[in-house]
Homo-oligomer: A and B are copies of this chain.
Amino acid sequence: MKIGIIGLGRMGGNIARRLMRAGHETVVFDRNAPAVEGLVADGAVGATSLEDMRDKLDKPGIYWVMLPAGDPTEQTIATIGGFDTKGDIIIDGGNSFYKDDIRRAKALTEQGTHYVDVGTSGGVWGLERGYCMMVGGSKEAVDTIDPILAALAPGIGTIPRTPGRIEENEDPRAEQGYIHAGPAGAGHFVKMVHNGIEYGLMQAYAEGFDILKGKASDKLPEDERFDLNLTDIAEVWRRGSVISSWLLDLTAIGLAKDQNLEQFTGSVADSGEGQWTIDAAMEEKVPANVLTAALFARYRSRVDHTFGDKLLSAMRFGFGGHVEMPQ
């Protein structure tokens, strides 16, 4: 198929490459001209603007928007939507908030433009491994772009089938690594929860390794200390233990390079989905202590001290004349 790809960063560039490897034609655009040139060298058709891309695509056209959530995505979709070509399919492959998808899809559908949201997981590994995709939109639009999704997905590969999975009941695409999750917004909603879970998983490993490392601490009685090899522990847990996972594989890679992780300061970003997941939990009245604690650990990692900490010290001073602990 022919597809336009807007946004050629880490994710967008590799998506274009993986599609070309599968024989699809890509027309690519990025505000950053060298990014376009790089893709053209790999076989893409370059575009100098969204209008230029429109002219180089079929009618109706298929557009994959792979930009930061918020203004960049919003404005790009508004421009493409403004082309108002009946039957166009606009795909938001980024990390938009699912309520924005619902809103956009409503407006675009009224004018006959299709809107599809694709939550895309795979990171820098996706070019080789393929991308896991959660897709929202109308059946018609999702079916139309199926060849694109199939090319991006990892396929069944070497990952074993789930015992007990009954083919006739389930969506066969799931085993290929993509699903049609529901109407517009459903794709990003599922991806959002995915990222919320990711934060929780990551924090569980983080706390566990913190406890392993702390076991050498001189706060402990001498005969209760262990000086553990974290690199070997991460490695052994990859092999037959119940906590083996891709995140553990990444942990093992990081620790193999440097068991003390000295290149990192420990100031950890969060990208929006974690927060939206907690919003969703609260709207549904679902308790989500683990996912929230994981998110808050990231906030906490980015400040030296909270004002709240100081208030604790002020209360302790007021009550007991306590002075602060030297750090």
Contacts and interface: CB of A to CB of B under 8 A. Distances in A.
A142 to B, nearest CB: 14
Interface in A83-135: 99, 102, 121-126, 129-134
A244 to B, nearest CB: 5
Interface string A241-275: 11111111111111111000100111111000001
A254 B193 contact: no
Contacts of A164: 253, 256-257
A293 interface: yes
Nearest to A308: B206
Contact of A309 (B236, B301, B307, B311): B301
A217 B314 contact: no
Nearest to A169: B231
Chain A contact surface mostly = helix
A268 to B, nearest CB: 5
Interface string A158-193: 111011111001110111111101110110011001
B265 A313 contact: yes
B123 A319 contact: yes
A78 interface: no
Contacts of A278: 278, 282, 292
A152 B133 CA distance: 38
A198 B201 CA distance: 9
Contacts of A250: 314-315, 318-319
A32 to B, nearest CB: 17
Interface in A182-230: 182-183, 185-186, 189-190, 193-194, 196-215, 217, 219-220, 223-224, 226-229
Contacts of A45: none
A37 interface: no
8 contacts: A159-B238, A181-B226, A181-B233, A194-B208, A197-B205, A198-B242, A214-B284, A267-B305
